[in-house]
Amino acid sequence: MQIPGLILAAILALSGKAEAFPSWPEGSVSYAAYHSEWGEQLAPVMAQSIHLELTQSRLNVSLTGNMPSLIYTGPVDVKIFQEISDLLRSMDPDSWPGATGDENRGTRRKDQCEWEVLLAVKEPRSQRKRVYGSDKGRDTPRLACEARLCTYFKELLPKLYASVPKTLQHLTLNDRPAGGYWSVGLEEGRVRVCVIRRGEINVEFYTDPSLLKDLRSLLDTYGAEAWHGSGYGRYEAGKMPLYFEVAFSTRQPLLVMADQEHMPKGFAAFTEALREKLAPLAKRWQACCAIPAWGLKEFSFAENGMRMEPSYKLYRRLDREGVRVHIMRTLGGSVEGDVPLSEAEEKELADILRSLSDWDGFTGNARNVLDATGFGLNVAFADGRSISASGYGMFPKGYREGKTRFLDFLEKRLPKSER
């Protein structure tokens, strides 16, 4: 059942800062975690779901459901680290009803709250302790500890949002009644833009990364962080209002659902400024995105084997100079280089790839070979021709020489990989 406010207040008062229980390992904390998931049939003290992980330099925390969502990923200073460590060390999970010490591997139950507490220390010697359990979410010492934890983060996270540097990673504005959709976000180190305006524009493209900085400045100018949570429950069922969502590097939530009658202060002016910022970019892309007949529409290449190998991809981007072909190299999901190609360089690369047309349709699989090297090549030319080839332990004729030709071309233009 839901705990009334007076009872919850009493719990918090009685469960103030406590000494660490002797059952925890002695020494400085190097890693700590607390997780709890409340079943659908239970009414939690504060949050339906709590996921907390703490290292000596970073905090990952998510409290969702039954309260405004609090989500944060980012650095914490020594003082905050010690406060969170003390909170977790003040718990005594061995005494909680339902503590088993074993991981809950069964099907999640709607009438149970499953939880986990973990602490690891390095000094004076490396130790760790992990306690699992489940309960009915009723009057137990765990509820007091969880309430204290939630209250702490409810006060802490707004301060972190305001003080920790954060970058804009994604922004979406969806105005279905007006037939509009604007989206800007990071994608494999690139900035992808999608603009839809009914009867006018319908494009997706990549553009200069400085756009994210410009949009972050726009958000700050209009005080957008104060809008989070606006509009929920204020629109009629079946009528989708304007939807706005922002993702920061800290995972700070910023979500707005609004109609003409329920818009937060400055929101209408911001959305108009956003449209004015993105629509010209979309029109400029439309005006100069045509690919010459000899050009490349697509190119990607990757190898995989015993060691991690880089992969390569071609894409077109709207820069200040116009639409240019870019070559990007990634390694392990991280961008290791991204450079534009001149028109002459694109022609040279296209000619190299056309010389590999015999590879098209090749698929080879050395079934009885373990730990072999695999590859994948996909090329699309503007004239409609294409090359699609892949293999594992088997390769088309002239593979080594052909691969060397286009990789030498690319690596001469890309920066030297740090790895």
Q: What is the CATH number of the domain that holds 235?
A: 3.30.1560
**How do the pLDDT tens digits run along the chain, 419 residues long?**
344 443 344 444 444 444 667 678 888 899 999 999 999 888 887 899 999 999 988 999 999 986 668 899 999 999 999 999 999 999 999 989 888 765 555 566 888 999 999 999 987 788 999 999 998 888 788 999 999 999 999 999 999 999 999 999 999 999 876 778 999 999 988 999 999 887 778 899 999 999 999 999 999 999 999 998 887 655 665 566 788 999 999 999 999 987 777 788 999 999 999 999 999 999 999 998 899 999 999 999 999 877 888 999 999 999 988 999 999 999 988 899 999 999 999 999 999 999 999 999 999 988 888 788 999 999 999 999 999 999 999 999 999 999 999 999 999 999 987 66
- Asked if 130 and 195 sit in the same domain, the reply is no
- Asked if 382 and 330 sit in the same domain, the reply is yes
- Asked if 109 and 211 sit in the same domain, the reply is no
Would 127 be classed as within a structural domain? yes
pLDDT of residue 231: 76
- Asked if 219 and 201 sit in the same domain, the reply is yes
- Asked if 158 and 178 sit in the same domain, the reply is no
pLDDT of residue 140: 81
- Asked if 210 and 333 sit in the same domain, the reply is no
Q: What angle do CA 30, 148, 160 make, to 5 degrees?
A: 65
Give how many domains the chain has, as a whole number: 3
pLDDT of residue 239: 65
The structure's pTM equals 0.79
pLDDT of residue 9: 44
- Asked if 27 and 159 sit in the same domain, the reply is yes
pLDDT of residue 237: 57
pLDDT of residue 4: 40
Would 259 be classed as within a structural domain? yes
Neighbours of 213 (CB within 10 A): 12
- Asked if 11 and 157 sit in the same domain, the reply is yes
Would 308 be classed as within a structural domain? yes
Would 275 be classed as within a structural domain? yes
pLDDT of residue 57: 85
- Asked if 119 and 59 sit in the same domain, the reply is yes
Final residue of a domain: which of 288, 310, 336? Answer: 288
Question: What is the residue range of 194's domain?
Answer: 168-288
Would 21 be classed as within a structural domain? yes
- Asked if 173 and 159 sit in the same domain, the reply is no
pLDDT of residue 374: 93
Final residue of a domain: which of 127, 146, 163? Answer: 163
Q: What angle do CA 335, 61, 141 make, to 5 degrees?
A: 160
Final residue of a domain: which of 144, 163, 182? Answer: 163
Would 240 be classed as within a structural domain? yes
Would 418 be classed as within a structural domain? no
- Asked if 308 and 229 sit in the same domain, the reply is no
- Asked if 284 and 301 sit in the same domain, the reply is no
Distance, in Å, from the CA atom of 140 to the CA atom of 161, rounded to the nearest integer, reads 32
